[in-house]
Structure 1
């Protein structure tokens, strides 16, 4: 009995399908067509999603975030969150990087490690690039004038020390040097923002034109790769040139009218401008990861 019922049901279904095809403007036809179109749309969407690599998504997001920004102009909080979310999910494999590459190998004893820079993109709105540091590699203390900077540690362990200027203390040339310092340079008081190690995977670090640690120094504890996004990028004609600094403990100098409680002195330092360190060597290499399509 069950078999006969099943056969009958199949016949009814076949007749139903034939009849449905012959009914003009049937309410049943649109439903079938809608499902078909829906499947096609989903397939197209899936193809689009697969086609956009993480580095392309980063480029597209940077185009949106920095489109209306300029020197000293910070993206909106929503745009900051949007770009940070993209970078937080970024992995070394997204740009075809592994710690075994030559860029990350330890230097010969006694030689200063060479830093490799992989250029991804630069325009007048933003730049994208990756710093590859061997163990003990150092990017000396430097600034980012008028910039908002996103730094994502892709792998490795790195020590970061960063400062912000103390706004109500101007630069001074009247400092009294300690016995170990014989000249009287122009110095300026800065407050420590970060002084700690960072190990990947970790969240993206963000610094702003006047906050967040605009002057920072990177020291590689292990081989490291750091993806940097700068908006806007360095530009000498526009007054955004990279300036390097030496930092000195607060007690190394005495400036009239400037005092810090004893228990807080470690959180401050005097910064002195310097020329680019002679032992800093940064070499450029071609980026060989997934291509970026500049639309």
Structure 2
């Protein structure tokens, strides 16, 4: 790691400490989000120890120091997504996801969380939904235990470096989203508060069904049916393959 008395990632960490406290409002006020966004926008790959946009794919061929952790049973030659933990605390976490081309983080949620994401290099497609409130739920015909819930499309676009960021809130902005890497890419995330399996903020995965495939009642939706989908809560997908990576950016003083 590079030792530095001042760095962009240190500034980001310090502002997160000030912003995300046990007594802070959730989500943070717009002014706090603007300050975090300004620092996040200034951070590039070299600020967090990622100097080569092709590094992650080279490591997949056995040239790098990453420790492989398979979350599910998949083909041993599949290219994993690399998760780099910068900080993990009770109030927020800072982390990086490094994607090989065509890799996917399936549709998942962020219950009660504010998440800010900055594309460090490369580009990826994001598809995101928010739950329709009040909740609209229906049972899948022919199934005793499976129910789906209605969600509205919040984003269906490509994000790319060096300028693109996304912000999602507990109930808006695309709290449920899916990432697909169009090129090798990396994303820096702020999650506040972080996932907590024991505290009820666990990550759930979903499969989305077109609105018209399960319900033809046009009175249910306010606009085009293409803007809505039924989401089914599913188990962690078998093809989700991640490994832990080592953070090599500036040391953060805590």
Q: TM-score range by the shorter chain?
A: 0.7 to 0.9
Q: Secondary structure at the match of 2:10?
A: helix
Give the whole-Å Cα distance in 2 for the aligned partners of 1:106 and 1:283.
Answer: 11
Q: Is the 8 A contact 2:124 2:160 kept in 1?
A: yes
Q: 1:155 aligns with which of 121, 129, 141?
A: 121
Partner of 2:12: 58
Partner of 2:70: none
Give the whole-Å Cα distance in 2 for the aligned partners of 1:87 and 1:241.
Answer: 25
Q: 1:254 aligns with which of 210, 215, 218?
A: 215
Partner of 2:71: none
**TM-score, normalised on structure 1?**
0.74
Q: Secondary structure at the match of 1:252?
A: helix
RMSD of aligned Cα (Å): 2.3
**TM-score, normalised on structure 2?**
0.86
Give the whole-Å Cα distance in 1 for the aligned partners of 2:185 and 2:58.
Answer: 7
Q: CA deviation at 1:200?
A: 1.0
Question: Is the strand fraction higher in 1 or 2?
Answer: 2
Query: Which sits farther off after the overlay, 284-293 or 247-256?
Result: 247-256
1:93 and 2:46 matched: yes
Question: Is the helix fraction higher in 1 or 2?
Answer: 1
Bigger relative CO (Cα 8 Å, ≥ 6 apart):
2
Q: Is the 8 A contact 1:103 1:115 kept in 2?
A: no
Q: CA deviation at 1:265?
A: 1.1
Q: CA deviation at 1:68?
A: 4.1
Q: What is the aligned residue count?
A: 236
Structure 1: which 5+ runs fail to align?
A: 1-49, 177-181
Query: Cα–Cα, structure 1 residues 220 and 257, in superposed 2: closer, same or farther, change >3 Å?
Result: closer
Partner of 2:237: 277
Query: Cα–Cα, structure 1 residues 125 and 145, in superposed 2: closer, same or farther, change >3 Å?
Result: same
Deviations 1:263-286 (CA, angstroms, capped at 9, x unpaired): 701111110000001110111111
Q: Secondary structure at the match of 1:116?
A: strand
Q: CA deviation at 1:246?
A: 0.3
Query: Cα–Cα, structure 1 residues 79 and 155, in superposed 2: closer, same or farther, change >3 Å?
Result: same
